[in-house]
Amino acid sequence: MMNDYQTWIDEIHNNSRYGIKGKILVKKKSNFQEIIILKTKNYGNALMLDGCWMTSDKDEKYYHELLVHPALSSKKNIEKILIIGGGDGGTARECLKYKGIKKIDLIEIDSDVIDLSKKYLKQIGGKVWSDARLNIHIMDGLKWVKKTSSNYYDAILIDCSDPSEFASGLFSLEFYKECSRIIKSKGIFATQSESPESFKKTHLKILNKLKKIFKHTSTAYSFVPFYPSGIWSWTFASNNNKKFLNSNYKDIKTIEESCEIWNQNFQSGALKMMPSKIMREISSNKL
C-alpha cells in the first residue's frame, strides 16, 4: 500500500540538513514567502517559512514557553502586551494564561501564516483566535512600533523568523530603540535570539545591540529539536533598575502546572547556560 508520509523536507543551513519526512499539506507562495505545512508521524503538523522550520505541533512548547514565561512571570501584573510575529498563535496562547491581561496586539506581516495556522496548526493557537483580548494587525512590526506612543506596553515579545529581506528590520538597532521607547518603565522585552551555534554571528549581534539599548539584559539557552543545531536562545531586557527575571506573578504554580517544559528551576538553569565562547565574544562588543 502506498505510504503518504514519504516526502523529506529539509532546512538547509551552512551545508547541513535538518529534515523530517512527511506528507505535504500546503506548499504555496504568499506575498512574502514560501509556506510549507508538512504532516509528520512524530511531530504532528510542522510549519516551514522560506526554507526555515518555524514550529511543529510536538516541539513548539520548547520554544513558546521559553519566550513567554521568563518575561511574564517576572511581573506581578501585566495588562497590555505586544507580540511581533507569532502568527501561529503559540506565543499568544501562553500569554493568555496570565489573569490580568487586558489586551494583546499581535502584529504579523503575512496574513497567510495566520490563516493557514488556524486551519492546520489548530493545537498551537488553541482558543486564542476567538479571544476578545487578541487584536490582530497585519502589518510590518517596525512600522507598528514607530507609530505607537511612548510608555505603552507592559511586555513586548518578538516571535520573529530568522533575519531575511523583510524580517531584518526586527533585528535592527532602530527597532530595539523603538521597543525601549514604547515599553513602560518597568516593562519587560523578550525576543527569540537565534542559535549560539548555527546562527552565532546573528546571535552575538542581537545581544550586543540589546545591551546598547536596554539597562539590563539576560539570555536563556535551551533546545528546540526542529531548529538548526538544536540549541536556541531567548533574550530578555528591561530598563528597570531592579533585577528582573525572578518569578513574581502571584499564581505561578498554576502557570508551572500548565507548562510542558518551563518551570522556575528550568528557567534559572537556562539563564546560566551561556557558552563560554559567547561570553568572551560578547565582551568584544561587535555590532
User: Residues interacting with ligand SPD, by CB under 6 A?
Assistant: 52, 54-55, 63, 86, 88, 90-91, 159, 161-162, 192, 227
Whether the Cβ atoms of residue 114 and residue 86 lie closer than 8 Å to each other: no
CA distance 40 to 24: 9
State in angstroms the smallest separation of the CB of 154 from ligand SPD: 20
Q: Which region holds residue 274: left if phi is over 0, alpha if psi is between -120 and 50, else beta?
A: beta
State in angstroms the smallest separation of the CB of 159 from ligand SPD: 5
Measured at the alpha carbon of residue 204, what is the angle toward residues 177 and 92, in degrees to the nearest 5? Answer: 60
Q: Which is nearer to ligand SPD, 184 or 221 (CB)?
A: 221
Q: Which is nearer to ligand SPD, 46 or 255 (CB)?
A: 46
Q: Which region holds residue 245: left if phi is over 0, alpha if psi is between -120 and 50, else beta?
A: left
Q: Which is nearer to ligand SPD, 108 or 178 (CB)?
A: 108
Q: Which is nearer to ligand SPD, 55 or 235 (CB)?
A: 55
State in angstroms the smallest separation of the CB of 52 from ligand SPD: 5
Whether 159 is catalytic is yes
Handedness of CA 98, 65, 113, 169 (dihedral sign): positive
In a 3-state reduction of DSSP, which class is residue 78?
A: coil
Query: Active-site residue among 57, 110, 159, 162?
Result: 159
State in angstroms the smallest separation of the CB of 177 from ligand SPD: 22
CA distance 71 to 283: 24
CA-nearest of 172, 271, 145 to 218 is 271
The catalytic residue positions are: 159
